[in-house]
Structure 1
Amino acid sequence: MRRFVLALALLGCAPCAAETLAGPATVVDGDTLELRGVRVHLYGIDAPEEGQLCETAAGRSYPCGHEATRLLRKRIGEGPVTCEAHKPDAKGRAQATCKVGGEDLSAWLVSQGYALASRSVSTTYVRQEARAWATRKGIWAGTFEPPSDWRHDRLRMEATAAPGVERATR
């Protein structure tokens, strides 16, 4: 029963919103975790996608989406993660503020320069983003396409793919 209530909280059940979900987490990508069978998007941020490439200051491509995922996985390690539910995002995804060792993972990723503050959701992490930009940390050290633009471009390319060409699925 408790698992059901926690899942409802993460899916936006207002009376359940005070519930937390805690335990070991699996990192799905740079801004998504799975805890106890519930997939949770980290609140207020947008990290590069797993297949996304960025460029270093020297102009060399590197898999910045993979790097964001790797860093998040390393930061969490084997420790338990605690997530406080927020209402679902515009896509209906469960989202939460998740912490490990008391540290907000969204704030940490943005401060490392491997996620952007999602201003359409919250301004909570804008200060950390400005600091990462000013010190040229992570993706700010070179050039990159904002993750939302990168996703949009991929969807548009898939929609215009020639007939008979297999399309990627999400």
Structure 2
Amino acid sequence: MLRLCSVLVLLVLPAMAWADLHGVIRVIDADTVDVGETRVRLHAIDAPEQDQLCQTDQGADFACGAWATARVVEAFEGRRATCDHVDRDRYGRVVARCSMLGIDMGRHIVREGWAFAARAYGLDYDLDEKVAYVAGRGLHAFQLQSPTQFRQAQAKGRVPPHPSCAIKGNISDNGRVFHMPGQRFYQQTEIHEASGERWFCSEAAALRAGWRAASY
């Protein structure tokens, strides 16, 4: 009898775990929301990080990550959603397709140009991104790294923690040298703060801390 009960529990638990989600939407960023008490990563889309910048055609910086989040907040915050589980990501978050009043949230977000189709996880929104791209809608009106490239650059210490503090204080065989944006080796220089390397907000701050300017 005990063995039979155990088998029944094992059969029931997966069904419970994969039951549909229902709840009020709270937007975390343009591809992640809370549905009730559950954190949900929207399936097959990828949005800029909150601190990610884009550039206009005139070369001006634009806070596109925060902008994309704000658009999703306007569209969905406080509404009720129903989500179908697809998977769990490496952070343990539920990955799901969510809809609000019959609107596929992922499709709407990609078609409006607030996020990109994450084709590595499915082609669900491939055509929707192409529609947004042709129309030059949302993020497609700007120049930006893909969110994946941006995250990889951050992980390697190539993207500053704040756009106004972008001077790289590197330590090498040549001593403590700081690199300004636009200099020859700026892009490939990685900052490892655990090794004493630093980001600086001004040349004066770097000089005061004992770094010297790169000569090229």
With normalisation by structure 1, the TM-score equals: 0.82
Find the residue that maps to 1:87 and give its secondary structure. Answer: strand
Q: Identity of paired residues, percent?
A: 30
Partner of 2:192: 161
CA RMSD of aligned residues (A): 2.2
Q: Within 5 A, what are the aligned runs for 1:90-169?
A: 92-157=92-157, 160-162=191-193, 163-164=195-196
Q: Within 5 A, what are the aligned runs for 1:1-170?
A: 14-16=14-16, 19-89=19-89, 92-157=92-157, 160-162=191-193, 163-164=195-196
Q: CA deviation at 1:25?
A: 1.6
- The 2-side partners of 1:65 and 1:156 are apart by 20
Find the residue that maps to 2:88 and give its secondary structure. Answer: coil
Q: CA deviation at 1:24?
A: 0.9
Q: CA deviation at 1:146?
A: 0.2
Q: CA deviation at 1:94?
A: 1.5
Query: Is 1:59–1:142's contact at 8 Å kept on the other side of the alignment?
Result: no
Q: CA deviation at 1:93?
A: 3.0
What is the identity, as a one-letter code, of the residue corresponding to 2:15? P
Q: 1:166 to 1:130 in 2, by over 3 A?
A: same
Find the residue that maps to 1:70 and give its secondary structure. Answer: helix
- The 2-side partners of 1:72 and 1:145 are apart by 20
* Structure 2 gaps, min length 5: 1-12, 159-189, 200-216
Find the residue that maps to 2:120 and give its secondary structure. Answer: coil
Q: CA deviation at 1:18?
A: 5.4
Q: CA deviation at 1:77?
A: 3.4
For the pair shown, which has the larger CA radius of gyration, 1 or 2? 2
Q: CA deviation at 1:47?
A: 0.3
Q: 1:23 to 1:53 in 2, by over 3 A?
A: same
Larger strand percent? 2
What is the identity, as a one-letter code, of the residue corresponding to 1:152? Q
Q: CA deviation at 1:16?
A: 4.0
What is the identity, as a one-letter code, of the residue corresponding to 2:192? A
More relative contact order, 1 or 2 (CA 8 Å, 6+ apart): 1
Query: Is 1:58–1:142's contact at 8 Å kept on the other side of the alignment?
Result: no
What is the identity, as a one-letter code, of the residue corresponding to 1:93? R
Q: 1:166 to 1:35 in 2, by over 3 A?
A: farther
Query: Is 2:52–2:64's contact at 8 Å kept on the other side of the alignment?
Result: yes
Find the residue that maps to 1:107 and give its secondary structure. Answer: helix
Map Cα deviations across residues 32-73 of structure 1 (whole Å, 9 max, x no partner). Answer: 011232111010100001000011233221111111111111
Number of matched residues? 155
Query: Is 2:53–2:144's contact at 8 Å kept on the other side of the alignment?
Result: yes
